[in-house]
Amino acid sequence: MKALRTLHLSVAAIRGLSLVEETNNRANLIILFVIVPPMPDRFCPTYAMVDSRCKGYAFVDRSWIEAIKLLIYKLSVSFEVIRFDGKILPENRMDRYILINLQINDYYEKRSKIYITELIHYPIVLGLA
């Protein structure tokens, strides 16, 4: 039996922060301006939050992907995500992903594999490796 991966997501990624909390924690959050080119003739500028607990993985909000109409792929083996408080998110079992190019300032990442889930506030969460 193949072991399942288990990843963690922070409170800011899943629940979001109130305006006061975000203002107070601004120095603790790393927010990047990113450009997602879904098609050669169209770019989607947005923001990504860096989450140190994601272990190098990236996540994207399902509704944002549906809005910009990107191609979605199915994982052969799904995995669980653990919330900031240690609870497993059965409703957010990772079973789909997208492959996209990301541009962050002058850095360009080709064909990034980003898992689809429900996020709040920032449409993309990038994990630190």
| Domain spans, the chain | 6-127
Global pTM value: 0.75
Return mean pLDDT, the chain: 77
pLDDT digits (tens, 9 = 90+) for 78-128: 888 776 666 776 666 789 999 988 888 888 888 899 999 888 778 898 988
Q: Which has the higher per-residue pLDDT, 33 or 26?
A: 33
Query: What band does 3 get if pLDDT is binned at 50, 70 and 90?
Result: very low
Question: 66: buried, middle or exposed (CB in 10 Å: 19+, 13-18, 0-12)?
Answer: exposed
Q: Tokens 């975000």 belong to which residue?
A: 22
CB under 8 Å to 101, separation ≥6 — which residues?
36, 37, 108, 109, 110, 111, 112
CB under 8 Å to 48, separation ≥6 — which residues?
31, 32, 34, 102, 104, 122, 123, 124, 125, 126
Fold type of domain 6-127 = Cathepsin D, subunit A; domain 1 (2.40.70)
